[in-house]
A = this chain, B = another copy of it.
Amino acid sequence: MEAGEEDISAAAAAANLRNDAHQQQQQQQPPVTSSNITCFNNNSVINLHSLTHLTDYLPHLQTHVNPLDSIPFFHPISGFYLSPTDVIFRNILFDLSVSAGTSGSATHHLQRLDSYHRAGPRKHIYFDHSHVRAAIVTCGGLCPGMNTVIRELVVGLWDLYGVRHIFGIKSGYRGFYSASTDPVPLCPKMVHDLHKRGGTLLETSRGGFDLRLIVNAIENRGYNQVYIIGGDGTMRGAVKIFEEIKRRKLKIAVAGIPKTVDNDVGVIDRSFGFQTAVEMAQQAISAAHVEAESAVNGVGLVKLMGRSTGHIALHATLSSRDVDCCLIPEIEFYLEGKGGLFEFLESRLKQNGHAVLVVAEGAGQRLIPRSKEAAEGQAGKDESGNAVLLDIGGWLKSELKKWWGRDHPEEELFTVKYIDPTYTIRAVAANATDNLYCTLLAHAAMHGAMAGYTGFVCGPINGNYGYIPVEEVAGANNVVDTNDHKWAWVRSVNNQPDFRRT
């Protein structure tokens, strides 16, 4: 019930819901879902982030009883199906002292009770299983768990909903229309062990987004459920596809599954593959630590993924405990002078004889001198539209050597061991935690599309799976809050400088 947010009174909302329930009994239709609900006794308290439903622009769609009802060994019990009124709260941290002051500010703060539709199967669905033609596409870089998501979409659609026409689009967005790649029919047997393999069965690529060609292809090939697995660039494309489909008034559900090993997606708790990546990143840190402590004045330097955010670097640092300094894009750092990196390293080398640095790939971009072309902005974007990053790892290694040679002419021995484990990290299969997460994500996406929602992504919100408007996720960003406790904890664990010139 909702595109856009609007305030209506709780009473009206309740009336709507009752009417919905009434209509549903009579017409076998589920409640209309696209409206914003604010309730709590005439006060605006709950703010529901509404989703687009196919009936928003195709009001006369037929519903069907969810085939889960008739699966052997499967007896949906009371409470099994979710309804559009089942929501999750998002902002759950609260400062009581602020809200208690005046009713005005209380109202303001109570609007922080943002909520999202819960993910899960619905009693009534908007697709006849024999008519479903589902397309799955993966875009952008690799991330642990992509194959699990593919597997679970295929197995779930096939086994739970009886769908028999599931197609893999190869090579990312361009695979929809490219003459050189045909869609691959997928079935459970083909994907049986896929969750145990890294990468993506469907191949992936950056770029290739051509809205008209893509939507034409979707329409011509008769796909009515499109599952798009990709990062923020991909999700911005998904918004456009979804909007074009809505404009053409096609009965096609578009579901996004946010994929970013960097964990830089907003709204959701974390992105799939992230925990696996942190686990793997520890191995590189461990190797850097061994190399550093086995050398005289040894510095281990590890570059980790994280274009605009330092989540992997931060988490790997916290869990490994072998890192002396963790540099992330959210913090401007500097090398020379009081409070700078060199001063800090100097003290650590004196103290321990070695040091380990972790740097996220997007950190320190402003420190690196740009070549003429780069400065002029040519070739500044890759095919996904992301800014091409300068190589902070290589640059830092070189600066460290210069510094040592300059400041320690008498001391012969100094070594920097530089490790870039990116591909080794992102190409592994998901660990148990991520594997389960990917399963739940795929199921959430599938149940949502079957229920007639479109233009949504799914993901965990405070530990529960919900549906989020795709444009909201495409626009959000999840950076490390360097003012909160976690980052302070990193600094307290490392005693690393805060790089705030005093």
Given contacts A319-B436, A424-B283, contact A94 B100 (CB under 8 A): no
By a CB distance below 8 angstroms, the chain B residues around A432 are: 275, 278-279, 281-282, 315-316, 319-320
Mark interface residues in A373-417 (1 if CB within 8 Å of B CB, else 0). 000000000000000000000000000000000000000110001
A317 to chain B, nearest CB (A): 10
Complex partner residue of A75 from B43, B318, B500, CB under 8 angstroms: B500
Mark interface residues in A97-133 (1 if CB within 8 Å of B CB, else 0). 1111101001100100001001011000000000000
Contact B488 A106 (CB under 8 A): no
- A420 sits at the interface (CB 8 A): yes
Copies of this chain: 4
Which residues between 441 and 493 of chain A lie within 8 Å of chain B, taking CB atoms?
443, 462-464, 483-486, 488-489, 491-493
Complex partner residue of A204 from B43, B295, B440, CB under 8 angstroms: B295
Q: Considering the chains assembled together, what is the distance between the CA atoms of A427 and B287 in angstroms?
A: 5
Contact B79 A483 (CB under 8 A): yes
- A266 sits at the interface (CB 8 A): no
Contact A159 B492 (CB under 8 A): yes
By a CB distance below 8 angstroms, the chain B residues around A495 are: 71-74, 159
A97 to chain B, nearest CB (A): 4
A40 to chain B, nearest CB (A): 6
Contact B48 A96 (CB under 8 A): yes
Interface size classification for chain A: 35 or more
Q: Considering the chains assembled together, what is the distance between the CA atoms of A496 and B13 in angstroms?
A: 40
User: Which one, A82-90, A242-250, A255-263, A362-370, is touching chain B?
Assistant: A82-90
- A56 sits at the interface (CB 8 A): no
By a CB distance below 8 angstroms, the chain B residues around A424 are: 283-284, 287, 419, 421, 424
Q: Considering the chains assembled together, what is the distance between the CA atoms of A199 and B296 in angstroms?
A: 12
Contact B205 A40 (CB under 8 A): no
Contact B294 A488 (CB under 8 A): no
Contact B199 A293 (CB under 8 A): yes
Add 7 more A-B contacts to A78-B483, A283-B424 (CB < 8 A): A10-B106, A14-B97, A85-B95, A93-B118, A278-B436, A281-B432, A419-B423
Interface residues of A (CB under 8 A from B): 10-11, 13-14, 17, 21, 37, 39-41, 43, 45-46, 48, 68, 71-80, 82-83, 85-89, 92-101, 103, 106-107, 110, 115, 118, 120-121, 142, 155-156, 159-160, 170-171, 181, 195, 197-200, 203-205, 208, 269, 275, 278-279, 281-284, 286-288, 290-291, 293-296, 298, 315-316, 318-321, 344, 353, 412-413, 417-421, 423-424, 427-428, 431-433, 435-436, 439-440, 443, 462-464, 483-486, 488-489, 491-493, 495-498, 500
List 20 contacting pairs A-B, 8 Å CB cutoff, sorted by A: A14-B100, A21-B97, A73-B497, A79-B483, A86-B93, A87-B93, A93-B118, A121-B485, A142-B291, A181-B296, A197-B290, A198-B286, A199-B291, A283-B424, A287-B423, A290-B428, A294-B427, A315-B436, A320-B432, A424-B424
